[in-house]
Structure 1
Amino acid sequence: MTPTLVFDLETIPDVQGLRALNDWAQGLDDAAVVERACAERREAVGHDFLPLHLQRIAVVGCVFRDDQGFRVRTLGQPGDSEATLIQQFFKTIDYYTPTLVSWNGSGFDLPVLHYRALMHGVQAARYWDTGNDDRDFRFSNYISRYHMRHVDLMDVLAKYNGRANAPMDQLARLCGFPGKLGMDGSQVWPAWQAGRQDEVRAYCETDVVNTWLLYCRFRLMRGELAPEHYEAEVALVRDTLASIDAPHWREYIAAWPAPPA
């Protein structure tokens, strides 16, 4: 089995970057810096979502599936630096050369990783290879939008047409999966400020599981998984999560209708 790595980022405003780029930020506390930056952003473009290079990575959530089984976690330990999280992500790619799976990874997660890795000087030789080191990567690499070494499910299912994009939460629930529980991306920064980092990590973990389940359904649709193999994959996820003693997984399982007997 080719290893598969499903990933998702949770980001917060890069306060240090905002201070470096704006003279007005000096003397303000972090909350005030972000508030003013968001206000200026709203005035300029009509929304307060900061540019991707000013999104600091707080959490990297991952599902990893290989011959050893199904695992879900967030990378690193609480308190690890952004550079450490990014390095761990790319080291995983260097070691396993997995299939990457995301929801809007091409539009958000990977560009953020690119910018932040550049700032921290993080090396990622395998990820950036387009055939110079491994000839197979000439025809299937992580960088090309139309190769399948990175599957951005949102982009692929929309047939690379941004007007056809669908929200992951809604599509997951329409497919019978739990979808998002208790939080969405707009609530990450307030939760992080309030010291609720564990809740943010838990939210990110549930997001990557939703994405993995949708990817399994996608593989069933493509004929890569026979129906019985698809059912076995879904059962593996359910059984694995049910065995973890954590509030967010108990909530997730409770929101996931059991299959017919």
Structure 2
Amino acid sequence: MIPVLVFDIETVPDVAGLRKLGDVVPDLSDAEVAELAFAARREKTGSDFLPHHLQRIVAISCAFRDREGFRVRSLGTPADSEAALIQSFFKVIERYTPILVSWNGGGFDLPVLNYRALVHGIAAAKYWDMGEDDRDFKWNNYIARYHMRHTDLMDVLAMYQPRASAPLDALAKMCGFPGKMGMDGSQVWNAFCEGRIEEIRNYCETDVVNTYLLYARFQLMRGAFTSDDYATEIDVVKRALAAETGPQWQEYLAAFDV
């Protein structure tokens, strides 16, 4: 079995970057700097969603499936630096060479990881290999949009048409899975400002489980899983979550409709 690594990131405005790039009054608070950036972005685009390179990563959560079972974790600790979290993510890729699975990872998570790794000077040789070191990677690598070594489920299911994209929460619930729990992406900045990083990590973990469950259903749809394989896989996930101690999992398991 090739290991599967489902990943998701949570981000906040890169206030330090905003201070470097803008004419910011020195005594403004981080929240005030961010609000100025939001206001400028809203005026320019109608949305306060900042560009990818101005997103700072505060959580990276992963669901990992291999022969040993299914595990879900947030990388590092709540106190770790952004650089440490990113380094941990690329170390997992370096060690296991997994299939990466995401929901909009090609449109958001990986570009943010790329920019932030560049800012911090983080090496990720296996991730960037496009056949220079391993010839197999020429035909199936993490970078190319149409390769399956990184399967962006949202992109694949939409046939690579942005206007056909669907939200993770909606698809998960339509398939009988719990969907998002605790918060959504729009609430992460306020939660971060209030010091609720553990809640952010817990929320991010439920997202990667939702994505893995949809990936299992995708494997059924494309013939990689039989009906029995699929039922077994859902049971593996449920049993693994039942053994977890995080406060989110009891509510999550109760929300299953399959």
- Length-normalised TM-score, structure 2: 0.99
User: What do residues 95-152 of structure 1 show as CA deviations (whole Å, max 9, x unaligned)?
Assistant: 1100000000000000000000000000000000000100000100000000000000
Alignment of 1:41-56 (within 5 A): 41-56=41-56
Number of aligned residues: 258
Structure 2 contact 202–246 (Cα < 8 Å) conserved: no
Summarize deviations over 1:61-111 as a string: whole Å, max 9, x none.
100111111000000012101001101101111111000000000000000
| Aligned amino acid, residue 60 of structure 2 | V
Is the Cα contact below 8 Å between 1:180 and 1:207 reproduced in 2?
yes
Cα contact 2:182–2:199 (8 A) shared by 1: no
Aligned to 1:205: 205
Does the CA-based 8 Å contact 1:39-1:48 persist in structure 2? yes
2-structure distance, mates of 1:96, 1:86: 16
Give 1:222's aligned amino acid: R
After TM superposition, the runs of 4+ consecutive aligned structure 1 residues lying more than 2 A away are none
Q: Does the residue aligned with 1:212 lie in a helix, a strand or coil? A: helix
Matched residue SS, 2:256:
coil
Task: Find the counterpart in structure 2 of residue 253 from structure 1.
Answer: 253
Confirm or deny that 1:124 pairs with 2:124.
Answer: yes
- Whole-angstrom CA distance in 1 between matches of 2:145 and 2:244: 36
SS of structure 2 residue aligned to 1:23: coil
Give me the whole-angstrom Cα distance separating, in 2, the residues matched to 1:76 and 1:238. Answer: 24
Partner of 1:145: 145
In structure 1, the residue matched to 2:177 is 177
Q: Which consecutive residues of structure 2, in runs of 5 or more, have no partner in the other structure?
A: none
Check whether the contact 2:3–2:99 (CA below 8 A) recurs between aligned residues: yes
Distance 1:60 1:247 in 2: 18
The separation in 2 between residues aligned to 1:2 and 1:255, in whole angstroms, is: 29
Q: How does 1:19-34 map to 2 (within 5 A)?
A: 19-34=19-34
Matched residue, 1:195? 195
Distance 2:89 2:237 in 1: 22
- Is 1:109 aligned to 2:115, yes or no? no
Distance, in Å, in 1 between the alignment partners of 2:3 and 2:63 is: 10
Shift of residue 36, structure 1, vs aligned partner: 0.7
- Cα offsets for 1:159-215 (capped at 9, x unmatched): 011111001100000000000112100000001111111110000000000000000
Aligned partners of 1:15 and 1:30 also within 8 Å: yes
Separation (CA, whole Å) in 1 of partners of 2:141 and 2:166: 25
Q: Residue 229 of structure 2 aligns with which residue? A: 229
After superposition, the C-alpha distances for 1:12-45 in whole angstroms (9 at most, x for unaligned) are: 1101001111122422011100011100110111
209-218 vs 27-36, which moves further: 27-36
The code of the aligned residue for 1:75 comes to: L
CA distance in 2, matches of 1:237, 1:104: 22
Cα separation, 2, equivalents of 1:255 and 1:172: 11
For the structure 1 residues 46 and 226, does the alpha-carbon distance in structure 2 shift closer, same or farther, using more than 3 Å as the test? Answer: same
**What is the distance in 2 between the residues matched to 1:135 and 1:19?**
43
Percent identity of paired positions between Structure 1 and Structure 2: 64
TM-score, normalization by structure 1 = 0.97
After TM superposition, give the deviation of residue 246 of structure 1 in Å: 2.4
Matched with 2:81 is 81
Say if 1:18 and 1:25, in contact at 8 Å, map to a contact too: no
Q: Distance in 2 between matches of 1:107 and 1:166?
A: 13
Going from structure 1 to structure 2, the CA distance change for 1:245 and 1:39 (only over 3 Å counts) comes to same
Alpha-carbon distance in 1 for matches of 2:255, 2:25? 44
Which position in structure 2 is the counterpart of 1:7?
7
The equivalent residue for 2:91 is 91
Report if the CA contact (8 A) 2:5-2:99 is conserved: yes
Which moves more between the two structures, 236-245 or 47-56? 236-245
In 1, the alpha carbon distance for the partners of 2:244 and 2:131 equals 41
Query: Which whole-Å CA distance do the structure 1 matches of 2:233 and 2:107 have between them?
Result: 28
